[in-house]
Amino acid sequence: MSNITFTMIKPDAVADGHIGAILGKIAEGGFKIKALKLTQLTVADAKKFYEVHAERPFYGELVEFMSSGPIVAAVLEKDNAVEDFRTLIGATNPAEAAEGTIRKMFARSIGENAVHGSDSDENALIEAQFHFSGREIF
């Protein structure tokens, strides 16, 4: 399934009222929605999802933030989905993100950066399966 990626609209962008605008940018970017839900991560979910960052100094802050409020989780389909989606969202730090990218337009800061995008085909599949059952992916 190398044509899928996984995304979350993070608690900052949900709280700031950007769900509709971000889904609009995703559709304009040519991505098809394969799965979609409004949900909230528990602290345990967030710790597990971000396990690869456990040794980073910002891990505690990241886990606290990502479990602090509702998120939108989605599986997206497009040729070259992982790379093209990372282009659409822009750099991790919105101050360094290109004009017109989702993070440039909607993120608050490097930690509260509006959206997640998978960094590899392998992780896209793992992350999609973390959030969705087979019945929820169309």
Catalytic residue flag (residue 53):
no
Q: Can you tell me which of 21, 110, 125, 137 binds ligand CMP, judged by CB under 6 A?
A: 110
- What's the alpha-carbon Rg for the chain, to the nearest Å? 14
Q: Can you tell me which of 54, 58, 60, 129 binds ligand CMP, judged by CB under 6 A?
A: 58
Q: How far apart are CA 63 and CA 48, in angstroms?
A: 9
Q: Hey, which residues between 1 and 30 contact ligand CMP (CB under 6 A)?
A: none
* Site membership for ligand CMP, residue 131 (CB under 6 A): no
Assign 81 to helix, strand or coil: helix
* Site membership for ligand CMP, residue 78 (CB under 6 A): no
Question: Judging by beta carbons within 10 Å of its beta carbon (0-12, 13-18, 19+), is residue 56 exposed, middle or buried?
Answer: exposed
Range 58-64 contact pairs with CB under 8 angstroms and sequence separation of 24 or more: 58/111, 61/111, 62/111
Complex with ligand CMP: residue 64 or 80, whichever CB lies closer: 64
Q: Can you tell me which of 18, 25, 34, 116 binds ligand CMP, judged by CB under 6 A?
A: 116
Q: Evaluate the CA torsion angle 22, 24, 30, 33 in order and state its sign.
A: positive
Of 130, 109, 136, whose CA–CA distance to 52 is shortest? Answer: 130
The least distance separating ligand CMP from the CB of residue 80, rounded to whole angstroms, comes to 19
Residues making up the binding site for ATP? 10, 58, 86, 92, 103, 113
Catalytic site positions: 116
Binding site for ligand CMP (CB under 6 A): 53, 58, 61-62, 92, 110-111, 113, 116
